[in-house]
A and B are shown apart, each in its own frame.
Chain A
Amino acid sequence: MTTAETTNTADSPHVGLFVTCLVDLYRPSVGFAAVKLLQQAGCRVTVPQAQTCCGQPAFNSGDDRHARQLAVQVLNAFEEFDYIVGPSASCLGTIRCHYPEMFADDTGLLPRFEALSSKSYELVSFLVDVLGVEAVEAGFDHCVTYHDSCSALRELGIKSQPRKLLASVSGLQLNESQGTDICCGFGGTFCVKYPEISGRMAADKVASVEASGADTLLSGDLGCLLNLAGKMRREGKPTRVYHIAEVLANMADCKSIGEGDD
């Protein structure tokens, strides 16, 4: 396995960055923002090359055998680190909450998955809850609203952490939307299996984002963001869409999700 590594100091916490397949394929800038935030917070960051997908699509489709194979790949790539951290509550929720469930009957692997689970964190909650980060050095002169992903809210208990760090971004104003605890309609394969229902859920979410008066939508999960950005584009809404890591790392100077040249 080749690993690419950046150094902080030798005794700083060693984080294996779980990039997530969506960030890897769709929005590398979120990965770089995650690296920057972790390094700024004093971590040594390694990006294992032997990582792809956490197995959630297979797991949620009932394909347990393939899900377990991918879980073992993640275990092998990440168990050497002090922490496994990634910019998605959905993927990290799978690793933290569901890997031990998948291997509940495997006495050989279960302890290793439990150990991995206990050191796995979603990026923003890791910064706040584990590293004690109180503020970031970033500016964003926009009125934003924040979408809580369901995995963040209900699997990992993340609600205050992103808001705390957003409050430290200079120029940023946070307007809460109605119904922040309601799903945006992404749901992995759900959104392509039941597009009409998913589309209505997304439309309702888009409407509540618009009603908040914000010009920018942020969230910590790229799945939700692609769904909502796609819906906003389809409805011709001007709202810009970024992953929260991009704003916190002061890297939201790239095109927003789904933004064209015009």
Chain B
Amino acid sequence: MSAAREQVLARIRSALGRGELGKAQLAELRERIARHPRQIEPAFSEPPQQRFRQKLEAAEASFVALDTLAEVAAEVERYLDASAAPKRLVTSGDELLRALEWPESIELRVWPAKGDDKVSLTAAHCGIAETGSLLLVSGEQNPTSLNFLPDYHIVVLRADQLLLRMEDAWDSLRASFTQMPRTVNFISGPSKTADVEQTVEYGAHGPRYLHVILVG
């Protein structure tokens, strides 16, 4: 191991006025990590779906709730028409999306995204009501670039995957994966910046528009 590593650790221990922690103390810290206690989780009184929608819309995302997955393709077409966006989609290979049937008017390509793709369609691992966030994870069928390169980002979320808080998402990830996925994105609105005269402009580097479709 590097000299710097030993120096930094030695300086830290000297600053703390002790040597290396003992076995029992280390076990206690590892136990805290393994237990990962939840901290303070602020209360909110609105129904989760209402909160989720309000927060997303406050961040200039658009939102629609559908009853069944079968309606998604039509909704995507409606949204693209209404936005005057091209009907060429690049989608992730997520199971949820693969089940969809598309009209001929929509041109589809399955990932990865290129620099000039205009519209992407992805599926969220879960949603967070507290902050109006979508959680998207990277994986074999889910390239992260889809979440950032296109101008329009359309995300499908199953209603039973709408969770209350970020902490619930961690539990869900721990249950679904043995290891943290390489990338976990909490997306809470379209890309924006206030770097020009402290005034918000949308579409800085990531999507200019975020459209959320809640199903079920």
A–B: direct contact at CB < 8 Å: no
Interface, chain A (partner B; CB < 8 A): none
Interface, chain B (partner A; CB < 8 A): none
